[in-house]
């Protein structure tokens, strides 16, 4: 089951983030509040594909619109590899 739950300034993401499910997670995250500093925790994320990059970029755009900062925590190694592959390491870090 894929979901995002807010605990203070932390968004805990759970489940797989794949091209067929990323839009569901994006919609669920719209219910979460952006704090001055929001931390997205990937500790409980399973499988991912390139959709995770788009999702992170959308969250970054939202944070900018809302004058917030977005930090990513517990990024899986395959997410770091995808970010490097697409040349967006500096954006997602």
b/e sequence 12-34, b meaning 16+ C-beta within 10 Å = bbbbbbbeebbeebbeebeebeb
Residue with tokens 């517990």: 74
Q: Which domains does the chain have, with CATH numbers?
A: 3-92 (3.30.750.24)
pLDDT band at 23 (very low <50, low <70, confident <90, very high): very high
* The model's pTM: 0.93
Predicted pLDDT of residue 1: 73
Predicted pLDDT of residue 92: 80
**In whole angstroms, what is the distance from residue 91 CA to residue 20 CA?**
23
């Amino acid at each position: 089951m894929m979901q995002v739950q807010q605990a203070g300034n932390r968004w805990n993401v759970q489940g797989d983030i794949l091209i067929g499910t990323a839009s569901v997670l994006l919609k669920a995250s719209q219910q979460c509040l952006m704090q001055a500093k929001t931390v997205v925790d990937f500790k409980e994320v399973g499988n991912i594909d390139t959709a995770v990059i788009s999702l992170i970029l959308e969250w970054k755009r939202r944070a900018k619109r809302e004058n917030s900062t977005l930090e990513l925590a517990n990024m899986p190694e395959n997410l770091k590899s995808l970010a490097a592959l697409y040349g967006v390491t500096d954006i997602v870090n």
